[in-house]
Structure 1
Amino acid sequence: MDLSSFLNNCSKDCLFKSDVPEATKKQPCMLGIDEAGRGPVLGPMVYGIAYFPIDVKAKMEKQDFADSKSLTENKREEIFNRICAGKIDNFGWMTNVLSPVTISNSMFRRTKYNLNALSHDTAMGLIQNAIDEGVNVEEVYVDTVGPEAKYKDKLSARFPAIKFTVAQKADSKYSVVSAASICAKVIRDRIIANWRFLEDVKNPEDYGSGYPGDPKTKAFLQNNLDPVFGFPSFVRFSWSTANEILESKAIECEWEEIDNKPANNKNMNQFFDSKKQASFFKNRCLHRVTDLSKI
């Protein structure tokens, strides 16, 4: 599978998807959603969906789909290769690769936009993409992010015609979510294994698991900090692990706020009292109201 559209510029998000099986356009379908790479401080987070007609659910449950974390890497690859080769009929999938840059920029917004909100919006974006592609989505199964009831209400408000099931560990309960989990995990693992650093990085192949508690990951962060520009784009700046290193070792910057307030502030009432504005109101048949009971 060609991942160069992302690997050529790892700072931008990228969508990968299968062709849409004709059967999924005509028959009511179930769709599962799961992600890979939520916790690591390194690399992208990948959201995936899988979908197939509801009437082939029993058949799909015999395809060895399981929570990707419970499968070996070889088994995940074997299943995903079968999917890509079209050996599983009436099966479609799609993944959205969220770059570390996107994750950091989203979490550093002035207005609150945390990882849960980003996850929700990405999941809803994939559902919408599937619908736009012509998939007849009737049921959706989601591995929950945050409180189940609130997430379900949010999804139902956006897609009122779809029946949603939101549950913890949905990837181990529903085969369609397990399949989405496998697609997301394989895509992320392949991207990590073939990551193209734009920066001059020390020991680019020795960063461990990418999780904050991994000693190799911590060493990678310590060894690849630029005191002015921070970390390579492989790193999620918004993670506390990265932030702590930046605060202790990076050069501190002070941002001066420019005062854009006009020198002579005028009260709004002056506009209404000004004789120069009389024609403005007269031409628009507007007049002052002092007694609301007369309206």
Structure 2
Amino acid sequence: MDLSPFETDNSVSCRLSSQIPDVCRTEDCCLGIDEAGRGPVLGPMVYGICFCPISKKEELKNSKVADSKTLTETERENLFEKLDEAKSYVGWALQILSPNTISTSMLQRTKYNLNALSHDTAIGLVKYALDSGVQLKEVFVDTVGPADKYEDKLSKLFPGIEVTVRPKADSLFPIVSAASICAKVARDRVVKAWNFTEDLGEVDTDYGSGYPNDPKTKAWLLKYLDPVFGYPQFVRFSWSTAQTLMESKGVAVHWDDDEEDGEKAAQRRNNKSMLSYFSASAGVNDRMQTHQTHRFFTDRRLKSLDTL
């Protein structure tokens, strides 16, 4: 599994895939869909599909694939290697959704929640398999939201394919278990080798589980909260855990509004106006200071001006 396309830019979504086995283009196939990392406040969410000929279902079952959550990391890695060794009849594809992609999607003006993002990602992966020539006849999906509605939605989108959506499908159908393993292995590897583009020095990688209720995760979030710029892109800043910490520990800033006479309103509230960071006086102060400009400004090529 080559993760370098995502590691080159981990701020965006990225698709990775195996070679398509020739037999999957000539025989009727089944496909399973599952995800890893839906709940954590840290790291990406990874959607995975795995597919093989229907005639190979029993062979896949005999490889002892199981719900990735019931396996140790070593067991998952070993099973992924088995799947990789079976590349003559097993194929897979992944969509890695970066924390930045998740948060910006959820916080955009038009409501786009995590369920909608999950559905669209799964649909995109099924379309990828079909466009690649995989002869899909059966699709098995671990549900997101009400199973019957999701099943109906997918059946209408993919007529001629028998769609089965079930809760805990990763423990019921080996092909979904295989997809679960691929997704979980990819997420674990990405999190372990995360490349922080922010200047954080030597980063403490003891994140805990990444889930919001984990004390280690909470401590990590508090440690790496910048009071002005918030979190590194490793964090899903749309999660309530992250938002609550930013609101309680971050610097209060007033966003200027003409109707409120922005600068004066900010002064009344004893807050800094956002415009003050770009004023002529701010530019003079910046030149007098010795510390480097924050990457927020350099990435966007923003500079303070004395004159317009």
TM range (shorter): 0.7 to 0.9
* Higher mean C-alpha displacement, 117-126 vs 71-80: 71-80
Which position in structure 2 is the counterpart of 1:114?
Answer: 113
**Counterpart of 2:56?**
56
> 1:30-65 CA deviation, whole Å, 9 max, x = no partner?
000000000100000000000001111111110111
1:16-35 residue pairs with structure 2 within 5 A? 16-35=16-35
Cα deviation for residue 148 of structure 1 reads: 0.5
Q: Which residue of 2 aligns with 1:159?
A: 158
Alignment partner of 1:61: what SS? helix
The alpha-carbon deviation at position 161 of structure 1 amounts to 2.0
Deviations along 1:188-243, whole A, 9 cap, x unmatched?
00111100111133643121111101111101110111111110000000101001
1:24, 1:67 → 2: CA distance? Answer: 24
Higher RCO (C-alpha 8 Å, min separation 6): 1
Q: Which residue of 2 aligns with 1:244?
A: 244
The letter of the residue matching 1:146 is G
Cα separation, partners in 2 of 1:255 and 1:186, compared to 1, 3 Å? same
Q: CA deviation at 1:258?
A: 6.8
Verify the 8 A CA contact 1:29 1:137 in the aligned structure 2. Answer: yes
Q: Which structure 1 segments of 5+ residues have no match?
A: 260-295
Partner of 1:71: 71
Q: Distance in 2 between matches of 1:254 and 1:125?
A: 40
Identify the residue that residue 176 of structure 2 maps to in structure 1: 177
Task: Using structure 1 for the length normalisation, give the TM-score.
Answer: 0.84
Cα distance between partner residues in 2 of 1:87 and 1:28 = 17
Deviation, structure 1 residue 257 = 5.4
TM-superposed deviation, 1:94: 0.5
Per the alignment, residue 128 of structure 1 pairs with 127
Deviations 1:103-156 (A, max 9, x none): 000110111111000000000000000111110111100000000111112112
Structure 1 position 82, deviation (Å): 2.4
Where does residue 4 of structure 1 map in the other structure? Answer: 4
3-state SS of the aligned residue for 1:60?
helix
The whole-number CA distance in structure 1 between the counterparts of 2:236 and 2:222 is 14
Which residue number corresponds to residue 274 of structure 1? none
Max radius of gyration: which structure? Answer: 1
What is the TM-score when the length of structure 2 is the normalising length?
Answer: 0.81
Contact 1:51 / 1:176 at 8 angstroms: preserved in 2?
Answer: yes
Q: Superposition pairs for residues 81-230 of structure 1, below 5 Å?
A: 81-84=81-84, 86-87=85-86, 89-201=88-200, 203-230=203-230
Aligned length: 258
Q: 1:134 to 1:250 in 2, by over 3 A?
A: same
| Contact 1:203 1:220 (8 Å CA) reproduced | no
Q: Is the 8 A contact 1:104 1:236 kept in 2?
A: yes
In the TM superposition, what whole-angstrom CA distance separates every residue of 1:56-98 from its partner, at most 9, and x where no partner exists?
11111101110001111111101112222x3354100001000
Q: Deviations over 1:9-28 (max 9, x none)?
A: 11011111110001111111
- Distance in 2, matches of 1:108 and 1:156, equals 29
Structure 2 unpaired stretches of 5+? 260-308
Letter of the structure 1 residue corresponding to residue 93 of structure 2: M
- How many percent of aligned residue pairs carry the same amino acid? 57
Q: Residues 127, 257 of structure 1: CA spacing in aligned structure 2 closer, same or farther, 3 A cutoff? A: farther
Superposition CA RMSD, Å: 1.4
Is 1:43 the counterpart of 2:31? The answer is no
